[in-house]
């Protein structure tokens, strides 16, 4: 898959207007907090959730992406800058950084609160509708489209600590510019779809809260 033009931006940053554009979607899901949320103090649950979302969004922003929204324990981000190769590289670098940096945060949570946690991530390249939506007076930035559904499916396929990429992302990468140890995995099977080839950046040991 060759490089294809992404949305052309004339200003630095992200345009707030509603539009449809090619994007790399990155889903970053916190594993472990939901299982503990009934036992932990409600204020602590929200404190840890917000710490996770801040960690993820700061990492995404530092790598040229935009954190769009949170859905339960998942942060959804988009990468639209440059062409498909550039956006895919930015998204993968963000996922690599999150994968490498989160264990330190998880260890602090374990030592302080007895909470076992990890992140699982998924990436897909496709078109998305970006804009504002929500109940009247509570509109917020959102992303809609089949590409969002597929990115979420990649997250659900990933084990704790891992990230999964669709063939669309892998095919757009210029891998010589990335230190990326990804391996092909059994195709992702979804209802009423052809099998989707996927690739994973895996962890050595399976965690018990995947």
The 10s digit of each residue's pLDDT in 57-77 is 999 999 999 999 888 899 999
The residues near 17 (Cβ < 8 Å, ≥ 6 apart) are 131
Question: So what's the pLDDT on residue 207?
Answer: 65
CATH class as words, domain 19-201: alpha beta
Q: What is the pLDDT of residues 97-139, one digit of tens each?
A: 999 999 999 999 999 999 999 999 999 999 999 999 889 998 8
pLDDT over 90 for what percent of the chain?
A: 69
* pLDDT over 70 (residue 6): no
Question: So what's the pLDDT on residue 10?
Answer: 33
The residues near 138 (Cβ < 8 Å, ≥ 6 apart) are none
* pLDDT over 90 (residue 8): no
Give the range among 85-89, 117-121, 153-157, 179-183 with minimum mean pLDDT. Answer: 179-183
Q: Residue 88 burial by CB count (10 A; 0-12/13-18/19+): exposed, middle or buried?
A: buried
Which whole number is the average pLDDT over 27-54?
93
Q: How confident is the model at residue 159 (pLDDT cuts 50, 70, 90)?
A: very high
Q: How confident is the model at residue 4 (pLDDT cuts 50, 70, 90)?
A: very low
Strands 118-133 vs 163-166: parallel, antiparallel or unpaired: parallel
Contact call for residues 187 and 154 (beta carbons, < 8 A): no
């Amino acid at each position: 898959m060759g490089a294809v033009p992404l949305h052309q931006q004339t200003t630095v940053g992200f345009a707030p207007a509603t539009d449809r554009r090619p994007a790399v979607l990155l889903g970053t899901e916190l594993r472990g907090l939901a299982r503990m949320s009934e036992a932990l103090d409600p204020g602590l649950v929200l404190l840890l959730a917000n710490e996770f979302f801040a960690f993820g969004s700061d990492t995404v922003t530092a790598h040229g992406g935009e954190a769009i929204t949170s859905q339960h324990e998942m942060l959804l981000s988009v990468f639209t800058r440059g062409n498909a190769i550039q956006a895919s590289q930015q998204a993968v670098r963000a996922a690599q950084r999150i994968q490498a940096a989160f264990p330190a945060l998880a260890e602090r949570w374990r030592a302080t609160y007895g909470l076992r946690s990890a992140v699982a991530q998924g990436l897909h390249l496709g078109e998305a509708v970006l804009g504002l939506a929500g109940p009247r007076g509570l509109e917020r930035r959102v992303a809609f489209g089949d590409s969002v559904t597929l990115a979420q499916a990649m997250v659900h396929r990933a084990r704790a600590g891992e990230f999964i990429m669709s063939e669309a992302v892998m095919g757009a990468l210029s891998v010589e510019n990335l230190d990326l140890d990804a391996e092909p995995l059994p195709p992702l099977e979804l209802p009423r779809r052809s099998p989707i080839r996927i690739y994973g950046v895996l962890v050595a040991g399976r965690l018990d809260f995947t």
